[in-house]
A and B are shown apart, each in its own frame.
Chain A
């Protein structure tokens, strides 16, 4: 086998976006080594440029004819492109947030960017990973970099503690996940590729055997940890509170998106045999996440903890889309993730800006902000209200689509729980808005009465301002002008053979032929095209 033949078999062009990220990572790393401290002036922009280039590369790969690469280890279908795009976008948005934040803490910016890009890389590979080894390596790339990011403020004991907790729980959960994967490997008789595993399960033709269920339980524990679903959420509030805020922003969107990508691919591809069981488990996880996330958020006093619980609850809403498993269900989930990207990152940008100016994250310290900084108040209000699902902001349409899809698929209970808990969520989001807007001048908090003059010309604030305004504009308009996003989400589902097969199976669950037998060859035939 000569080299060109091998290269064409590998179809390495599919991971061009990842290649661009790696190249950027190296440029930033080496540039920082050579230029030293002076490099802070250009590294963030180089990072953003590189990541944007990766987005462009992703766009060019849309609907590619041969999505399968590396002999079936990596799948570049439209679904993975959307997820990779969301992860890269969240990384791009994190960069401007972190410039000023990292500078103020006196640590090195370039290293932060390098670790963050590594995490992005891990997330991207995870979105397209198509065999067990790739999944594991990508997952660990993402996780280990996340631990490092969490503990990046190494002189701050809170950051240390958050990192330690994250690491211990994360490592334990990925070990459990790995144990589940080793069982999958054994049960399938030594298969690594996801579709081969499911084919061998179908070939064995036993009705939901206990071994597969045990493997499923282990695997779900790993996934649920990554998407912070209740009851695997305990790390979330602590890590969110202790970590540097830009890292939290990235974790809450990028890392969570990667978790959902993993969930879709792994569950849909490997576990059609026990489809009823995992749907049941995820229904329970979704209900628990929505209820607990929203209810506990009511009692929070720290803004970052509030957002942590809110992100748990949002994951619950997202899981509705996963559970219903129809075309609209998957699309609504992707659509919500796209919107969640804007509104959550916008919200975090505001929180960072506030803590840069006042040095605190307590909700009570926000009282009276409207008097001193109307722009920040407006932006944070819009992002929070959008998270709460108030029209005409983007979050309303996101939730509407999820509930619409849920109802269409007959998941009435889930939709009702979602509706009730989203009414509860309005209460705590609006509590923050009330703090900022309603309080009279005499009720101002100490932080607000000593609020520094609003200046945007400090180093690093200009990009923050730009990204904040972009996020807020997107949050306000992405709902009203949501057609392109809807189309994108729908296309990514309808152009992905894996999901199409699963949807067909869903629609004809009582077929006489074991349904997977019809799916798997169909998928592989498309994949091998």
Chain B
């Protein structure tokens, strides 16, 4: 059986990749995708913990379902906002959004 640590390391790696993407991306869609990576790292964590530490009640897996559904809602809202801004500005490049002092 694969040890728990491997899953945690995978999750941590995924989380770091997500953070890296978050910081370096200029395209808004890519930033949104990076956030999905972060959330998926969390999901892996929760599933692994649930399977190894709490197999009886599996609350971690229930939590994962919540996370997935909320991530979907967040992505929907995010894309809607991106769409609105694209209509107004004709771009999805982060660097172009400078109406407000950063």
Q: Which residues of A contact B (CB under 8 A)?
A: 132-133, 136-137, 140, 144, 147-148, 151, 154-158, 160-165, 167-168, 171-172, 175-176, 178-179, 181-183, 185-186, 189-192, 234, 237-238, 241-242, 305
Contact = CB atoms under 8 A, between A and B. Distances in A.
B84 A179 contact: no
A140 B89 contact: no
B73 to A, nearest CB: 6
9 contacts: A133-B59, A151-B81, A155-B88, A158-B99, A160-B85, A161-B85, A164-B85, A168-B28, A168-B31
Given A172-B35, A178-B67, A185-B63, A190 B49 contact: yes
Interface residues of B, number: 43
In the complex, the 3 A-B pairs of residues with the closest C-beta atoms, listed nearest first: A190-B54, A175-B38, A186-B49
A200 to B, nearest CB: 10
Interface string B1-37: 0000000100100010010001000001001100100
Contact of A238 (B41, B57, B77, B100): B100
Interface class of chain B by DSSP: helix
Interface of B: 8, 11, 15, 18, 22, 28, 31-32, 35, 38-39, 41-42, 45-46, 48-50, 53-54, 57, 59-60, 62-63, 66-67, 70, 73-74, 77-78, 81-82, 84-85, 88-89, 97, 99-102
B57 A190 contact: yes
A160 B89 contact: yes
A165 B97 contact: yes
A171 B88 contact: no
B28 A164 contact: yes
Contacts of B48: 186
A163 to B, nearest CB: 5
Contacts of A192: 59, 63
Contacts of A185: 45-46, 49-50, 59-60, 63
A51 B28 CA distance: 37
B100 A161 contact: yes
Contacts of B63: 132-133, 136, 182, 185, 192
Given A172-B35, A192-B59, A157 B73 contact: no
Given A168-B32, A179-B15, 12 more contacts: A137-B70, A140-B73, A144-B74, A155-B88, A157-B85, A157-B89, A160-B85, A167-B78, A168-B28, A192-B63, A237-B101, A238-B100
A189 B67 CA distance: 20
B66 A133 contact: yes
A140 B74 contact: yes
B74 A171 contact: yes
Contact of A172 (B22, B46, B50, B70): B22
